[in-house]
Chain A
Amino acid sequence: MKRNPGIIVDFTKGLWQDNPVFRQLLGMCPTLAVTGKALQGLTMGLAVTFVLVSTGIVISLIRKIVPRQVRIATFTVTIATFVTLADRFLAARFPAMSAALGPYVPLIVVNCIILGRQEAFTSKNPLLPSLFDAFGMSVGFTWALVVLGCIRELLAYGSIFGQSVLGTSFEPWVVMALPPGAFITLGLLIGLMNVIQKKKEARGKE
């Protein structure tokens, strides 16, 4: 029972104070590239969750038998394998979504969140905390992508998750579906998160 608070922290730190996107600035490529629509952001989030959790399990199980020299190579092969599985599965079952995400699913291989977490956490911790850590980071990554996706989809198409929200009289801001909209929205969101975090810290001190 004594370990439990630790495990809960392993999980919750990824949600906010170590949020991979807003606080650690990791995995920026897919964050910017696929969030033109909320559903795409969610799918990417789930794909990353799958890869992060699966590699977390495997690496945490084999971490003791892997010699130090081939650690990174082992991690890389494991990650690339699970990414291929996720990518082929998407292509087989959800061809339209797979086409929309394009090469950004295979690019999860080089997503710094995955390798970073294995290096920093999983390779040093047993299965259970690793799992909680992986889940926390994944959920943190996913909600960041979904928020970004919702904002951009709302302004670029007037809808959220494909459901029309703003009606037909709203003239879409095409720019939000394009790269400039992605960069500017994420930049402003990171600023907003910093403001919120600062307010929180200030309150914590009192």
Chain B
Amino acid sequence: MTAETEELAEQRLLEIRTSPHIRSPLATPQVMRGVLIALIPASAASIYFFRIQALLLILTSVVACMGVEALCQFLLKRPISVGDGSAAVTGLLLALVLPPGLPLYYVALGAAFAIIIGKQIFGGLGYNIFNPALIARAFLMAAFPGRLTTWLEPFTLKVVGSVDAITKATPLALMKFYSEPTPLKNLFFGNVAGSLGETCALALIIGAAFLLIKGYMDWRIPLSYLGIVFILSALIWKFAPGSGSPLFHLLSGGLLLGALFMATDPVTSPVTKTGRWLFGIGAGLLVIIIRNWGGLPEGVMYSILLMNAVTPLINRLTKPKPFGAAK
């Protein structure tokens, strides 16, 4: 970088600083309430499939997130803003990405991690770099890999903590390790093994439609994200039919939940329109890479976290450039 471009970089820096972090014209509580409403179908579906365990998991996660948030704000002497609903959204999203059989102790631990490390140490809402629910899940995944990859067959969990629940691999794992396809109908309605909120595609689509109509969600990220996954998995499917059809890849795993409700988080995704396209494309590419060549069957969580990490760089690249800026 020459001295000249460095100077321009300085200008760009100043330009970003002038409008710090006002990313959504809508008030936080209003949007959060909208997101909570949009997640009702998915939550209801999870309670239908996994019964009281799902309900307990959701309650624990939401209550823990809100409690820890209030405690943190009290200790850091910040205004207490649990009422804005953002902690509740984090709690609900965290519950929806956890396996149904997870003991509640781990759920509470994850919730504490989401709020403390994922959000409050960055300065609270609006400053966090990573999606708090996903970073907490990544933490749990790294801490308790066995528990976070033990999935239950729907309807088999009758009593909390009972041992008669039947464990089953997720459709993506069945495909990757056993080359065993899952009927698309099951994927669409959600009668498969997986985390609480990811199994029922129908419920997720209904919720997302609500957010879109209300104008709470930018369509660019989901469209580019899902589009890239669809196109690339179709291409790969043509050469390697064992990899799963494009529809299978769209409906299985956490892709819909991630693309519709997590990647679209305005705080952790780019502010510019071009940036959002880039975010979606990058996340889609990463999902395809991890699902096809990585060690893990699913890559949605990591794809979004990695794109969260480069979001500041994307913002920097796609900000309108001042006069004469080098490309």
State if A and B touch, Cβ cutoff 8 Å.
yes
Cα A50 to Cα B108 in complex, Å, equals 45
Smallest Cβ distance from A127 to chain B, in angstroms?
A: 45
User: Are B144 and A174 in contact (CB-based, < 8 A)?
Assistant: yes
Smallest Cβ distance from B89 to chain A, in angstroms?
A: 24
User: Are B143 and A175 in contact (CB-based, < 8 A)?
Assistant: yes
Nearest residue (CB) in B for A174 is: B143
Cα A171 to Cα B106 in complex, Å, equals 10
Q: Is B142 among interface residues, defined by CB-CB distance under 8 A?
A: yes
Contact of A184 among B117, B145, B147 (CB under 8 A): B117
Size category, B interface:
under 10
User: Are B142 and A178 in contact (CB-based, < 8 A)?
Assistant: yes
Q: Is B230 among interface residues, defined by CB-CB distance under 8 A?
A: no
**Contact residues of A between 142 and 199, Cβ < 8 Å to B:** 171, 173-176, 178, 180-181, 184
User: Are B144 and A173 in contact (CB-based, < 8 A)?
Assistant: yes
Q: Is B139 among interface residues, defined by CB-CB distance under 8 A?
A: yes
User: Are B144 and A180 in contact (CB-based, < 8 A)?
Assistant: no
Cα A184 to Cα B139 in complex, Å, equals 11
- The main secondary structure of chain A at its interface with chain B is helix
**Contact residues of B between 142 and 177, Cβ < 8 Å to A:** 142-145, 147
Nearest residue (CB) in B for A184 is: B117
Smallest Cβ distance from A172 to chain B, in angstroms?
A: 8
Cα A173 to Cα B139 in complex, Å, equals 10
Smallest Cβ distance from B116 to chain A, in angstroms?
A: 10
Nearest residue (CB) in B for A155 is: B143
Smallest Cβ distance from A176 to chain B, in angstroms?
A: 7
Residues in A with CB closer than 8 Å to B142 are 174-175, 178, 180-181
User: Are A174 and B145 in contact (CB-based, < 8 A)?
Assistant: yes
Residues in B with CB closer than 8 Å to A174 are 142-145
Residues in A with CB closer than 8 Å to B144 are 171, 173-174
Residues in A with CB closer than 8 Å to B143 are 173-176
Chain B residues near A (Cβ < 8 Å): 117, 139, 142-145, 147
Chain A residues near B (Cβ < 8 Å): 171, 173-176, 178, 180-181, 184
Question: Given known contacts A173-B144, A174-B144, what 6 new A-B pairs fall within 8 Å (CB)?
Answer: A173-B143, A174-B143, A174-B145, A175-B142, A175-B143, A180-B142
Q: Give the 10 A-B residue pairs with the shortest CB-CB distance, closest first.
A: A175-B142, A175-B143, A173-B143, A174-B143, A180-B142, A178-B142, A174-B145, A175-B139, A174-B142, A171-B144
